[in-house]
Structure 1
Amino acid sequence: MPSQPADPGRRVVITGLGVVSSIGTGVAEFSAALRAGRSNVRPISVFDTTGFEHVNGCEVTDFEPERWIRQIDFEELGRASRFSTAAARLALTDSGLSQEALAEARCLISVGSTDGESHELDQLVSMELHGGPESMSPRLARRISAGRLATSIARELELSNVETSTIVTACSAGNYAIGNSFDAIRFGDADYALCGGADAVCRKTFTSFYRLRSIAPDCCRPFDRNRMGILTGEGAGILLLESLESATARGARIYAEVLGYGLSCDAHHPVAPHQGGIARCMELALANAGVKPGEVDLISAHGTGTKANDLTETAAIRDTFGERPPRVVSMKSMLGHTMGAASALAAIGCSVAITDRFIPPTINHVETDPECAIDCVPNTSVEADLRIVQNNGWAFGGNNSVVLFGRYDGQAVGV
């Protein structure tokens, strides 16, 4: 896994951001919602929740795929692929790069996911149980391939000189996709990359977390003394990456620079986070980025709102940053846990925080757990001059990922 500083000769920057989320579609809506500390918690409606004692989630509402998916029939796509494809179109538009220019270049599409198209599998199972195999729709069955989260983007943008991949390292997968794309750009294997993560709310994952007693009855309150778990969410976050040379040559707006990343797999336990594995991943990312712990201004935490995650993550942060760490926030308090999209949406949150110079809050906060003992920027965003921001992503099986972002001001950052 990356442990040496990235080659400073080919710097990688973010020039386009695409968001589909429960708190807004498009980067402007998303950024405004983060600054305002909004959430859109409501009872889950995309599957039958009969029999569950509490059923709140963070669904994407008022989403009109036909606004963003124009070249292919969106009815061919599952819910998660619609999110990823729309977010990619939004990212490309936001970047100012023409579709024709992207098509002429070498492109990488890398999308992380936890569930792939499990929402479609839910429907197939329901049809089989209630209507018999003869009622199953072939069109629905064709939607279930997880690979479509990436390939549908290539089809929609009419790309042929392109490599596509769907990365399924669960809830850290968005950061994995960003790290994969960062390497492709800085080593010259691609000219542009569309990367991030996408997932849709599904019965399988909701039920799994419910049986683990990890679903909160009302809202997600990370780092709070009385936190009770996650809320499942959905959406997609796609970033357009290119080299600094490319971006400056075409006069592109630069949100932030990708400084480096770290990956680790401690394989400690199927579901329980491991303090040492998390700390090791942060150390690898800092080394790869050439950043010292004291230079980090903000940590976007995995911050699920479960007892185990928040305690383990904050302990690992103190192992790495000492007893006075930077501010630590959880965007899941607003977005819910969007699974494979989580660290990608958080990466976009980090990018706009750097550009617009504010720190998103951790909402629903009443009293910080003394065992966490961090400044989580409770309930209200604050203005801040951020230069380096760290984005954490952890997953079942000990699949850990961290990406560091820096403000681009024409100078080398963190070296």
Structure 2
Amino acid sequence: MAVTATPADPVVITGGAMLCSLGDADQTFSALLDGRAGLGPLRHVDPAAVGVAHGYHVPDSVDGDVGSWLAAVIADAVAQAGLDTDRRRVAVLVGTGLRELRGLERSHADGVPFAAADLHFGAAVRSVLPGATEVLTLSNACSASGFALGLGMDMLALDEADAVVVAGCDGMTESMLAVIGRVAVEPSERVQPFEVDRRGVLLGEGAVAVVIQRESADPLARVLSVGMACDAFHETAPHPDGVVAAVRDAHSRAGRLPGDIDLVVAHATGTALNDPTESAALTEVFGSAAPDGLLVTGIKGATGHTSGGAALMSLLVAVRALRTGTVPPVVGLRTPIPEAEGLRLVIGEPCATTGSVAQVNAFGFGGVNAVTLVEV
């Protein structure tokens, strides 16, 4: 368990940038409000070979590989934060599920040169942040960037850095697409979180980065806590006890009660097992608070499963929702599953909020769960 900073040791977000199938952070939030998805035909891979025909690719106008996407969002976030990397100790933590596996696959198939060290993004990060004191890669599936955020807070609390760039990234790989295609009962044409007729996973891709510091005159938001749990219940099936443990850990570290939370950006995978499990866990933690005040949304219906970047992408959407007072709907959701009936899901249209505290859920294979509380 991490020794994540407490409310007495405030950590703030001073810059943030992302790239996904919907575009940059501004384009993504606008698309979410409009209920648009970044879904399109599968690129780079033969659909017949992997049994998957659609994906949430970065826009055609975006060149390069996963490392270049990562470098671009880090440069943007650092510029927003106004970091002086020559005078301050700046560490970088990158959360990822597959690392730069697509480059390795391309090298194997086409003979394109690929250095094994590039799996870890050190060269990509230092191409835009050469003065970084260290670059560390964490591979924790869909909760990777949430865990990276918690560890970044630890580094600040322990005075191991003056600022930490926390990032997440993943690209679409042939091997992962093949796994999805072979385990699905029937092919999925879109991701529909909490939907009765959901069919399961489709991959998304992109990169995201935030800068966290101990103090700032005008922060985007304050990170109250990151709660973590690893229940190791099953390789792929989530367990409600593990989810609840991570949520309660986040609340405890922040010194907040369930009734203090105004918005949940759910993990919301649109899969047979996650959605009922997450619904049950939220109902257990929030109880009667959910129908009246707590809003619940999720972004994977619009972005796909972005793996290592998922936690921080949801975090930036949560911050934008609280700052604008507008919560985007769950794209692709029409009829909620019975297990979610007690939740105040945002369906169809954006919903106004006057809230200031959001919870961001991120759950990975093996019960590797990270839950973040953020305040504006």
When the two structures are superposed, what TM-score results if normalisation uses the length of structure 2? Answer: 0.93
What is the match of residue 188 of structure 1? 159
- Mapping 1:135-154, distance limit 5 Å: 136-137=111-112, 140-142=113-115, 145-148=118-121, 150-154=122-126
Given the alignment of the two structures, is residue 369 of structure 1 paired with residue 337 of structure 2, yes or no? yes
Do 1:357 and 1:385's aligned partners in 2 also have CA atoms closer than 8 Å? yes
Secondary structure of the corresponding residue to residue 344 of structure 2 = coil
Give how far 1:290 is off.
1.0
Please give the per-residue CA displacement for 1:269-327, whole angstroms capped at 9, x wherever unaligned: 11110111111111111101111111111111111000100001111111211144222
Given the alignment of the two structures, is residue 278 of structure 1 paired with residue 278 of structure 2, yes or no? no
Given the alignment of the two structures, is residue 391 of structure 1 paired with residue 374 of structure 2, yes or no? no
Distance in 2, matches of 1:105 and 1:144, equals 26
Task: Give the letter aligned to residue 153 of structure 1.
Answer: V
**Match for 1:353 among 307, 313, 321?**
321
Given the alignment of the two structures, is residue 120 of structure 1 paired with residue 100 of structure 2, yes or no? no
Do 1:44 and 1:57's aligned partners in 2 also have CA atoms closer than 8 Å? yes
- Mapping 1:48-127, distance limit 5 Å: 48-64=46-62, 79-95=65-81, 97-98=82-83, 101-127=84-110
**Match for 2:221 among 250, 256, 272?**
256
Do 1:24 and 1:33's aligned partners in 2 also have CA atoms closer than 8 Å? no
Distance in 1, matches of 2:174 and 2:344, equals 34
Secondary structure of the corresponding residue to residue 32 of structure 1 = helix
| % identity of equivalent residues | 28
Secondary structure of the corresponding residue to residue 317 of structure 1 = helix
Distance in 2, matches of 1:216 and 1:58, equals 15
Secondary structure of the corresponding residue to residue 93 of structure 1 = helix
What is the match of residue 318 of structure 1? 283
Distance in 2, matches of 1:94 and 1:190, equals 19
Give how far 1:265 is off.
0.6
| Cα separation, partners in 2 of 1:30 and 1:313, compared to 1, 3 Å | same
Give how far 1:90 is off.
1.3
Give how far 1:53 is off.
4.7
Q: Which runs of 5+ in 1 are unaligned?
A: 66-73, 128-135, 408-415
What is the match of residue 210 of structure 2? 239
What is the match of residue 205 of structure 1? 176
Secondary structure of the corresponding residue to residue 302 of structure 1 = coil
Give how far 1:215 is off.
7.6
Distance in 2, matches of 1:214 and 1:343, equals 27
| Cα separation, partners in 2 of 1:189 and 1:268, compared to 1, 3 Å | same
The worse-fitting range, judged by mean Cα deviation, of 263-272 and 355-364 is: 355-364
Give how far 1:371 is off.
2.0
What is the match of residue 158 of structure 1? 130
Give how far 1:2 is off.
4.8
What is the match of residue 10 of structure 1? 9
Do 1:185 and 1:193's aligned partners in 2 also have CA atoms closer than 8 Å? yes
Give how far 1:201 is off.
0.9
Give how far 1:108 is off.
1.4
Which one has a bigger Cα radius of gyration? 1
Distance in 2, matches of 1:178 and 1:172, equals 10
Distance in 1, matches of 2:295 and 2:158, equals 33
Distance in 2, matches of 1:316 and 1:200, equals 30
Number of equivalenced pairs: 372
Give how far 1:59 is off.
0.1
Distance in 1, matches of 2:187 and 2:263, equals 26
Please give the per-residue CA displacement for 1:21-41, whole angstroms capped at 9, x wherever unaligned: 11012x322332232222120
Please give the per-residue CA displacement for 1:150-175, whole angstroms capped at 9, x wherever unaligned: 54213322215x12111101110010
Do 1:221 and 1:365's aligned partners in 2 also have CA atoms closer than 8 Å? yes
What is the match of residue 131 of structure 1? none
Do 1:46 and 1:201's aligned partners in 2 also have CA atoms closer than 8 Å? no
Distance in 2, matches of 1:341 and 1:53, equals 24
Do 1:353 and 1:386's aligned partners in 2 also have CA atoms closer than 8 Å? no
Distance in 1, matches of 2:158 and 2:185, equals 41
Secondary structure of the corresponding residue to residue 225 of structure 2 = strand
Do 1:41 and 1:57's aligned partners in 2 also have CA atoms closer than 8 Å? yes
Task: Give the letter aligned to residue 12 of structure 2.
Answer: V
Give how far 1:3 is off.
7.9
Task: Give the letter aligned to residue 386 of structure 1.
Answer: G
What is the match of residue 33 of structure 2? 35
Distance in 2, matches of 1:297 and 1:214, equals 37
Task: Give the letter aligned to residue 303 of structure 2.
Answer: L
| Cα separation, partners in 2 of 1:9 and 1:275, compared to 1, 3 Å | closer
**Displaced runs of 4 or more, over 4 A:** none
Cα RMSD, aligned residues only: 1.9
Q: Which runs of 5+ in 2 are unaligned?
A: none
Do 2:6 and 2:225's aligned partners in 1 also have CA atoms closer than 8 Å? no
- Mapping 1:325-344, distance limit 5 Å: 325=290, 326-344=294-312
